[in-house]
Amino acid sequence: MKEWYRLFLRRKSVYDAFDHTTKTFQSLKTKDEAEAERLLVALNEAGKQPAMNLILAARVAEASQRGRHQEMALTKFVPVS
C-alpha cells in the first residue's frame, strides 16, 4: 500500500509531511530527523486505520463521561466535610 504522507525538509530547518492526496503540507514542528520519521510513521498508521481510531475515540469519550457521572453521583449523595 502506498504511504499517505511523505517527509520533506523545509528550508533546511523544519520537517514537513506532504499529503499526496490533498497536495498539502503539514508542519511536523521538529528539526530532528529521527523524531520527524517517528511522527510521519504515526501519521501514516492513523491514515490506514480510520475506523479503529474512531472506535477508540468513542470508547475514551464514553469512559470519561462515565467517570464524570460517578463523580457527580458521589458528590451529590456523599456529604463532603
**Domain spans of the chain?**
1-48, 49-81
Is residue 2 pLDDT above 80, yes or no? Answer: no
pTM: 0.58
User: 6 and 20 in contact (C-beta within 8 Å)?
Assistant: yes
Is residue 8 pLDDT above 60, yes or no? Answer: yes
Local structure of 78: helix, strand or coil = coil
Is residue 63 pLDDT above 80, yes or no? Answer: no
Tell me the C-alpha to C-alpha distance, in Å, between residue 37 and each of 15, 22, 51, 71.
9, 20, 24, 41
